Amino acid sequence: MAFGQLDSGGAPQPLSEINMTPLVDVMLVLLIIFIVTAPLLTHSVNINLPKASAKTSVLKSPVLIGLDQDLQLFLDNKPVNREALASALRQRVAQGEAPSVELHVDGTIAYQHVVRLMAAIQDAGITKLSFVTLPAK
């Protein structure tokens, strides 16, 4: 940076260089602010998921699978055990195109039971799964 001139001839020229020190200082301050605030924005919060309203979909002869409050399984409104459900689903998949499944689950059931049921449905080869809910008020 040249603040002065050695020769005394001519009119003084304006300073034509940009001082980078304030720019670097501002960028470092912003970097520190982002480093400090980024972890604060990624925390998890326990929430209750709301009911949602959506368009009803019309499926061709869906398979109805239910899980009630007592963890009793139902296939097309008939009580079954896990083995019978798995074999019935495999038979329907073997008959042709994989059917779609409508899952009716009691709202008080723990999430782990729903995940196990979904895994059993997926193991049978079914990928089309719908959750049946009550409409929001």
Kindly give, in sequence order, each residue whose CB lies less than 8 Å from that of residue 67, ignoring residues fewer than 6 positions away: 73, 74, 103, 104, 105, 106, 109, 113, 114, 117
Whether 10 is covered by a domain: the verdict is: no
Whether 116 is covered by a domain: the verdict is: yes
Whether 77 is covered by a domain: the verdict is: yes
* Out of 8-12, 27-31, 55-59, least confident range: 55-59
Query: What is the pLDDT at residue 46?
Result: 58
In this predicted structure, the answer to whether residue 24 has a pLDDT above a threshold of 90 is: yes
Report residue 44's pLDDT band, with 50, 70 and 90 as the boundaries.
low
- Give the residue numbers spanning the domain of 83: 63-131
Whether 101 is covered by a domain: the verdict is: yes
Query: What is the pLDDT at residue 9?
Result: 61
How many domains, the chain?
A: 1
Residue 87 sits in a domain of what CATH number?
Answer: 3.30.420.270
Whether 126 is covered by a domain: the verdict is: yes
Q: Residue 131: which of 109, 123, 10 has the closest Cα?
A: 109
In this predicted structure, the answer to whether residue 89 has a pLDDT above a threshold of 60 is: yes
